[in-house]
Structure 1
Amino acid sequence: MSTVNGKVILVTGGGQGLGAAICRSLAADGATVIPVDVKPDNLTKITEEIKGTGGQIEGFQMNVADVNNVEEVINKIIDKYKKIDAVINNAGIDYTLAIDEISNNQFQQVIDVNLVGPFNVSKAIYAHFKSNGAGHIVNIASTASKRAWPNASAYHASKWGLLGLSHALHAELRKDKIKVTAVVAGGMQTPFILERFPDTPLNVLQDPKEVADTVKFVLCMPATSVIPEVMVVPMTETSWP
């Protein structure tokens, strides 16, 4: 098994929660991590934390739903670091509302961030990966891409779509030596869940570090192998059998 040491890895939604955990895991193994986020305060926090442990990190403000902004930031990163070895499409939002409560604009926002965002990032990085003859796209899906529950129509639509996009890109980009992996993550102890559902028992949620370490694992596969999909759930997972 190889290492991410010396690799430059972009993490969307990298300022908090799972994104921050991914940055910690990769930086600890010697990668230069590039968290991007719409919230500059979150970027400052994770950047100071990882620099304080001796890790290599630089954050950039980016909105994954804005294709021009995505292209601009990715080009800026490549200009500075001369390469990007992998991108982790982790940014995500949700509105926990019934269909008669969620607005069309809210539904579109979820699709734009959770599904169009990964497409924008993948499309923007494709030419760079192809010219390098290597690259890895990791899409953070969810058990919400495998089953459904009430009051989450936008989130389910976005994550089922992301899983389909991930497998489609896996099939399409293999000819260019580009790997694509979907990480299907179960419930985690992150603000994404705990800020919306503060009464959720922590024992039914996993530490995001476990999912972050799985991301590192798939990035460390030999060049001749790829993991198209992997699921990581807590032992007491309630959203998956």
Structure 2
Amino acid sequence: MSNPAYVDLRDKQALVTGAARGLGAAIARRLAAAGASVLVADVRQDLAKELCEDIMAQGGSARSITMDVCDPGAVADVFRDVDEAGQRVDILVNNAAVDVSKSAEHLTAEEVTRVVNTNLLGPMYLCLEGYRRMVSQGGGHIVNILSTAANRTWTEAGPYAASKSGLRAFTHTLFKEAQRDCEGIGVTGVIAGGMETAFILERFPDADVSMLQSPEIVADTVLYALSVPVGSALAELVVVPRREPSWP
């Protein structure tokens, strides 16, 4: 696979959640093209395995793993398996997310729990496992995929906005702790605007795709975050379509 110009990830291992399709798949492909060995984490193992096969056919390295980010025990097991294999996670990308587009009047407690568990608690579980290991190994990078909803919300997006706002706050806290704990650790939040992926199009099939951006653009932004040298720190990046209605 041809490597992007701005970062060389050979000898690095990356773990990407929600990586079987959409933005997660685009990120996994970009990381593999830059030389990383990618752990494609998702509950949709059929799609995850297809993606890994395609990445390997292009000369990259990828392996699918089953992970429900809402289950802290399952998250811990994945990291324990990596430890036992004598490997490490150098790059963690928390991308898995869900949404339920309903007003507060019609939301159920189960729907709220699912969104908050997936979008906020899940990334926090992964950060807890990944960060302490990165401190021990003296380096690494965590990228949390945020949303314009972390800054400005809209109707029918209460749980989603709450979860992404919470994740943004957690990301900024972890950034400050990394500054204190280990110079080699990067923590970056990527605020991404609307993308032409199933995440939007399955819920809004009539969406105007001219107002959406390609997930590959956001994946390139993740790679840029990984390119920043140790002496500098990149806390947050914003990448939105030119016609993004929810920013600023």
Q: 1:87 aligns with which of 68, 88, 92?
A: 92
- Other-structure match for 2:129: 124
Picking from 214, 225, 234, the partner of 1:227 is 234
Structure 1 counterpart of 2:114, from 109, 113, 125: 109
Find the aligned partners of 1:226 and 1:76 in 2 and give their Cα distance. 30
- 1:81 Cα shift? 5.4
Structure 2 unaligned spans of 5+: 1-5
Partner of 1:68: 73
What is aligned with 1:169? 174
Once the two structures are superposed, the pairs formed by residues 206-225 of structure 1 within 5 Å of their partners are 206-225=213-232
Percent identity of paired positions between Structure 1 and Structure 2:
42
1:68 alignment partner AA: G
CA contact (8 A) 2:32 2:60 kept: yes
Give how far 1:6 is off.
2.1
Q: Secondary structure at the match of 2:207?
A: coil
Unaligned 5+ segments in structure 1 are none
Superposition deviation, residue 2 in structure 1: 4.2
- Counterpart of 1:58 in 2: which secondary structure? strand
State the secondary structure of the residue aligned to 1:33.
strand
1:59 aligned counterpart, secondary structure: strand
Task: Name the CA distance, whole Å, in 2 between partners of 1:239 and 1:21.
Answer: 23
2:195 is matched with 188
Where does residue 206 of structure 2 map in the other structure?
Answer: 199
CA distance in 1 between counterparts of 2:62 and 2:107 reads: 37
**Backbone CA RMSD of aligned residues:** 1.1
Moved more, 13-22 or 173-182: 173-182
Quick check: 2:76–2:129 contact (8 Å CA) kept in 1?
A: yes
Aligned to 2:3: none
User: 2-side partners of 1:81 and 1:11: how far apart?
Assistant: 19
Answer yes or no: is 1:99 the counterpart of 2:104: yes
Q: Distance in 2 between matches of 1:226 and 1:5?
A: 21
| TM-score, scaled to structure 1 | 0.97
Cross-structure match for 1:11: 16
Give the corresponding residue for 1:236: 243
2:146 partner SS: strand
Q: Report the Cα distance in structure 2 between the residues aligned to 1:30 and 1:181, rounded to whole angstroms.
A: 20
Q: State the number of aligned residues.
A: 241
Query: How high is the TM-score relative to the length of structure 2?
Result: 0.94
For residue 213 of structure 1, what is the amino acid of its counterpart? D
After TM superposition, give the deviation of residue 112 of structure 1 in Å: 0.4
> 1:15-94 to 2 correspondence within 5 Å?
15-80=20-85, 82-94=87-99
Counterpart CA distance in 1 for 2:174 and 2:132 is: 14
How far off its partner does 1:115 sit? Answer: 0.3
Which of 133, 149, 171 is the equivalent residue of 2:154? 149
Give 1:133-144 correspondences, 5 Å limit: 133-144=138-149
4+ aligned runs moved over 4 Å, structure 1: none
In structure 1, what is the Cα distance between the partners aligned to 2:132 and 2:157?
A: 35
Determine the C-alpha separation between the residues in 2 that align with 1:3 and 1:226.
18
